[in-house]
């Protein structure tokens, strides 16, 4: 790639691949890796990717195809592309997987320390320039962000899109509700996973045995055969990993050790990103990373489609980032807007330097009777809507805007303030946003979640458009009592064309059939085991509303008539 003012590294080199190389660590364990480098003498910058999957699959010579569960773990990128342009690409297995020694700690502190040590080992090799970057998406990105917080001296930048950075909120407990479905499939993709004997032994201690009995008796967990079977054999195979996840139902030190430590001044240059469609896993990490990393940074959020496998769409974006920080080649990338967002519905990009956009006008769309979602404030005294939730039949409520008269752009964080009561002492909220076309067809855009008993907010971290819950304790609901819930709905960027509508759906479960893999990633949560009548309140005393970031259009607002003049009779 080149312009009149800059050019990226050109493909001039042959390549050589060194297989099954051992990287020594300070505790005597080694990490297994393959190294792809230019086929000529010299010292070259190093790109490191670390994962938990089949190493061979990261080098599959595959005609690109859409992301699927079968191919989803191929996330390292094209080694030959970078080696031909004067880089060394190293793809290593994390401790306890593949050919690497040791035991798998599910992204514990030791595993991340390993990678920081590997960075320095690679920087000292005879073919290395001494400058190292980390690269790759998803698992690769997750570990890159964690390593950046440790600031190994030779790490000069990371390219880390599609990666969560808060384990509890982004990955395992959406809104405090256990998300087990993805983990069930993910563990099968981990290569040669080994669980430590010490962790298996820990499952047999008196304290853990008591905890396991509590989990067995948990009315939400017991009906799930997959989880019930794990708890019957907690020390077998990979079951200890899942038992640890089940045992830590609240946020705390266990999850802090598996998340990015944003209390540190992380000044490593970082490129973040993702796609609107992976709201159930990686998307929040992009915005959080862009907000909290202190060094040079940028963010690019693409269409709601995950990358083809093997990953290649962003290779020139990567090259420009690496050329700048590893070869001192100014590719102009820092002169461009820091925030680049794809706007769904029109297939165009919105560029700027801030997130959220300074143009955003957060507008309350209130819930009304008969399923209306409108800017008009509630005006009656006691309006309610009711859904019946039961294990075999999960009801729902929908609230829909009138058809848009103006082309209306929504771009940014979204939040729902909900006033509700239930006959149960718990409520699991599953919030979904849909685009409705003029023919009535709907398309799921994004979701939000909240366990009602974990509704307590962290006032220091919450914003009106981004509620942040402590998830430190459970406070059961009082049956029949109206309670206020603030629910984060994952961000989106969409232009609603004239005639299109936006719909809000409320449920207490997510057992509907997913339409594609990205929806599947965001589903598979616990649900309540007993029937409940759930009442949503939307009155002037309890003004439930959806907070939408309007960045263009809707200057006058929606029309109940849909903008169609009426003929008086």
| Residue 64: predicted pLDDT | 79
| Residue 309: predicted pLDDT | 83
The SS3 assignment for 350 reads strand
> Which residue shows structure tokens 């956009």?
357
Give, in order, the Cα–Cα distances in Å from 149 to each of 69, 127, 152, 541.
30, 26, 9, 46
> Which residue shows structure tokens 């759930």?
534
Fold of 15-165+260-336: Rossmann fold (3.40.50)
| Residue 176: predicted pLDDT | 98
The SS3 assignment for 495 reads strand
Q: Tell me which H or E stretch contains 131.
A: strand 128-134
Residue 82 CA to residue 85 CA, distance in Å, equals 5
Provide the b/e sequence for 500-539 (b: ≥16 CB within 10 Å). bbbbbbbbbbbeeeeeebbbbbbbbbbbbeeebbbbbbbb
Shortest CA distance to 112 belongs to which of 84, 145, 86, 67? 145
Instruction: List Cβ neighbours of 63 (8 Å cut-off, separation of 6 or more).
Output: none
Using a 10 angstrom Cβ sphere, with 0-12 exposed, 13-18 middle and 19 or more buried, the burial of residue 192 is: middle
Give, in order, the Cα–Cα distances in Å from 88 to each of 17, 328, 519.
10, 16, 36
Instruction: List Cβ neighbours of 134 (8 Å cut-off, separation of 6 or more).
Output: 47, 48, 49, 50, 115, 119, 140, 143, 144, 147, 148, 155, 158, 159, 160
In the chain, where the domains are located:
15-165+260-336, 170-256, 361-552
Among positive and negative, which fits the CA dihedral 547, 553, 558, 562?
A: negative
Q: pLDDT tens track of the chain, all 569 residues?
A: 999 999 999 999 999 999 999 999 999 999 999 999 999 999 999 999 999 999 999 998 878 788 777 777 889 999 999 999 999 999 999 999 999 999 999 999 999 999 999 999 999 999 999 999 999 999 999 999 999 999 999 999 999 999 999 999 999 999 999 999 999 989 999 999 999 999 999 999 999 999 999 999 999 999 999 999 999 999 999 999 999 999 999 999 999 999 999 999 999 999 999 999 999 999 999 999 999 999 999 999 999 999 888 889 999 999 999 999 999 999 999 999 999 999 999 999 999 999 999 999 999 999 999 999 999 999 877 799 999 999 999 999 999 999 999 999 999 999 999 999 999 999 999 999 999 999 999 999 999 999 999 999 999 999 999 999 999 999 999 999 999 999 999 999 999 999 999 999 999 999 999 999 999 999 999 999 999 999 999 999 999 999 999 999 999 999 998 888 887 76
Using a 10 angstrom Cβ sphere, with 0-12 exposed, 13-18 middle and 19 or more buried, the burial of residue 41 is: exposed
| Residue 173: predicted pLDDT | 98
Shortest CA distance to 524 belongs to which of 168, 107, 173? 173
- Paired tokens of 457: 């907010």
Instruction: List Cβ neighbours of 70 (8 Å cut-off, separation of 6 or more).
Output: none
| Residue 221: predicted pLDDT | 98
Count of C-beta atoms within a 10 Å radius of residue 326: 22
| Residue 498: predicted pLDDT | 96
Using a 10 angstrom Cβ sphere, with 0-12 exposed, 13-18 middle and 19 or more buried, the burial of residue 63 is: exposed
Shortest CA distance to 1 belongs to which of 332, 258, 290, 274? 332
- Paired tokens of 300: 């690019």
Fold of 361-552: Jelly Rolls (2.60.120)
Residue 142 CA to residue 260 CA, distance in Å, equals 9
Shortest CA distance to 412 belongs to which of 552, 506, 545? 552
pTM: 0.96
| Residue 569: predicted pLDDT | 66
The backbone region for 440, taken as left when phi is positive above 0, alpha when psi lies in -120 to 50, beta otherwise, is left
| Residue 39: predicted pLDDT | 97
């Amino acid at each position: 790639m080149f312009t009149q003012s800059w050019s990226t590294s050109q493909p001039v080199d042959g390549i050589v691949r060194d297989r099954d190389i051992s990287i020594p660590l300070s505790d005597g364990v080694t990490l297994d890796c393959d190294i792809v480098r230019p086929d000529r003498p010299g010292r070259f910058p190093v790109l490191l990717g670390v994962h938990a999957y089949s190493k061979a699959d990261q080098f599959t010579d595959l005609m690109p195809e859409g992301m699927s569960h079968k191919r989803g773990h191929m996330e390292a990128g094209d080694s030959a592309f970078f080696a031909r342009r004067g880089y060394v690409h190293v793809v290593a297995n994390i401790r306890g997987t593949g050919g690497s020694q040791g035991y798998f700690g599910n992204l514990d502190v030791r595993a991340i320390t390993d990678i920081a040590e590997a960075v320095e080992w690679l920087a000292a090799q005879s073919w290395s320039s001494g400058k190292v970057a980390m690269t790759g998406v998803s698992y690769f990105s997750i570990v890159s962000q964690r390593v950046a917080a440790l600031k190994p001296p030779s790490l000069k930048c990371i390219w880390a899109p599609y990666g969560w950075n808060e384990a509890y909120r982004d990955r395992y407990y959406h809104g405090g509700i256990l998300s087990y479905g993805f983990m069930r499939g993910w563990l099968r993709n981990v290569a040669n996973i080994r669980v430590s004997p010490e962790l298996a032994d820990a499952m047999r201690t008196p304290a853990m045995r008591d905890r396991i009995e509590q989990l067995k008796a948990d009315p939400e967990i017991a009906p799930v055969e997959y989880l019930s079977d794990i708890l019957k054999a907690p020390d077998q195979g990979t079951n200890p990993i899942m038992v640890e996840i089940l045992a830590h139902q609240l946020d705390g030190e266990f999850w802090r050790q598996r998340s990015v430590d944003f209390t540190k001044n992380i000044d490593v240059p970082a490129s973040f990103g993702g796609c609107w469609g992976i709201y159930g896993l990686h998307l929040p990490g992009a915005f959080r990373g862009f907000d909290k990393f202190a060094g040079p940074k940028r963010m690019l959020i693409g269409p709601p489609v995950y990358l083809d496998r093997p990953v290649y769409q962003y290779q020139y974006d990567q090259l420009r980032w690496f050329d700048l920080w590893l070869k001192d080649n100014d590719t102009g990338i820092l002169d461009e807007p820091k925030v680049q967002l794809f706007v769904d519905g029109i297939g165009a990009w919105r560029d700027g330097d801030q997130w959220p956009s300074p143009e955003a006008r957060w507008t309350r769309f209130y819930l009304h009777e008969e399923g209306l979602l409108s800017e008009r404030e509630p005006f009656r005294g006691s309006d309610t809507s009711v859904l019946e939730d039961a294990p075999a039949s999960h009801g729902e409520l929908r609230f829909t805007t009138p058809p848009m008269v103006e082309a209306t752009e929504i771009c940014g964080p979204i939040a729902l303030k909900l006033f509700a009561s239930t006959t149960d002492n718990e409520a699991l909220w599953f919030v979904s946003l849909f685009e409705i076309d003029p023919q009535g067809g709907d398309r799921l855009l994004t979701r939000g979640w909240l366990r009602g008993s974990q509704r307590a907010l962290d006032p220091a971290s919450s914003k009106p458009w981004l509620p942040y819950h402590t998830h430190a304790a459970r406070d059961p609901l009082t049956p029949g009592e109206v309670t206020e819930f603030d629910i984060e709905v994952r961000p989106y960027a969409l232009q609603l064309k004239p005639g299109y509508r936006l719909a809000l759906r409320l449920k207490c479960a997510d057992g509907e059939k997913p339409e594609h893999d990205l929806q599947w990633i965001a589903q598979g949560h616990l649900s309540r085991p007993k029937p409940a009548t759930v009442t949503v309140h939307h009155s002037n005393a309890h003004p439930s509303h959806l907070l939408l970031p309007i960045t263009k259009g809707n200057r006058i607002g929606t029309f109940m008539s849909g903008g169609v003049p009426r003929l008086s009779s």
